[in-house]
Amino acid sequence: MTDAVAQADNKRLERVVKEPIKKSDSKVKLMEFSTSMVDSQSLDLVKYLNKMVENCKDKAAQKSFELEMEGFRQLFFQFKASKGKTIEWEKIRPPAQDMVVPYADLAPCPDSKLSSLANKLCVLKLNGGLGTTMGCSGPKSVIEVHSDLSFLDLTVHQIQHLNEAYKSDVPLILMNSFNTHE
């Protein structure tokens, strides 16, 4: 992923967001603004993918990982551009029985590989629901559940423990909704 791609996207977004929208504006301008808001999510994705690439310690592995993330970015943008397509749920079937390996049948992972594997991990946590039905004015993740700790505090402690136990740097990515973004 090049900085030039991110910078070009950023400039286009800034241009659209800086121009105020009035009631008299055309539907095209409103659509452009709507698209730019979605594009801000794309810019966040590019930013985080770049950060993941930068955090790769081994330079040879970094280049390979960068190419993989560029492929992911392209697939992501291709997916976003394919508006109007719907999932044909009736065509979706569970995998064949011989494709699923029960957890109990998996071979144990050698301790020597745990740190290496942990460094390939990221944790994506859904943080999208407001706790209004529970009397909370913010996201449910900040509701205190035990010993003055919230769900989010407990998640952060779990990630810290994982990083300490395996000498890794597992990122925690929160998937927010428009309501919980702030």
| Coil/strand/helix, residue 150 | strand
* CA 91 from centroid of its chain's CA atoms: 27
Percent of the chain with pLDDT over 70: 70
Averaged over 144-170, what is the pLDDT? 90
Residues 5 and 87 in one domain: yes
Residue 172 and residue 159 in contact, taking contact as beta carbons nearer than 8 Å: yes
Averaged over 8-21, what is the pLDDT? 50
Tell me: pLDDT of 124 over 60: yes
- In b/e form, how buried is each residue of 66-92, taking b as 16+ CB within 10 angstroms? beebbeebeeebeeeeeeeeeeeeeee
> Domain count of the chain?
2
Tell me: pLDDT of 182 over 70: no
Structural domain includes residue 103: no
Cβ neighbours of residue 156 under 8 Å, at least 6 residues apart? 172
Residues 61 and 132 in one domain: no
Structural domain includes residue 101: no
Q: Please identify, among 57, 92, 127, the residue that sits at the C-terminal boundary of a domain.
A: 92
pLDDT at residue 17, as a whole number? 45
pTM of the model: 0.44
Separation CA 164–CA 55 (nearest Å): 17
Residues 5 and 66 in one domain: yes
Length of the chain: 182
pLDDT at residue 61, as a whole number? 81
Tell me: pLDDT of 21 over 70: no
Computed over every residue of the chain, the mean pLDDT equals: 77
Tell me: pLDDT of 23 over 50: no
**Max Cα separation, the chain?**
65
Q: What is the pLDDT of residues 42-100, one digit of tens each?
A: 778 888 888 888 888 888 888 888 888 888 888 887 777 776 667 788 899 999 988 99
**Shortest CA distance to 66 belongs to which of 52, 45, 77?**
52
Separation CA 151–CA 127 (nearest Å): 10
Averaged over 117-131, what is the pLDDT? 84
Residues 88 and 1 in one domain: yes
Tell me: pLDDT of 26 over 70: no
Residue 141 and residue 127 in contact, taking contact as beta carbons nearer than 8 Å: yes
Residues 76 and 122 in one domain: no
Separation CA 20–CA 150 (nearest Å): 39
Percent helix, strand and coil across the chain, each rounded to 5? Answer: 60, 10, 30
Structural domain includes residue 98: no
Q: Which domain holds residue 10?
A: 1-92
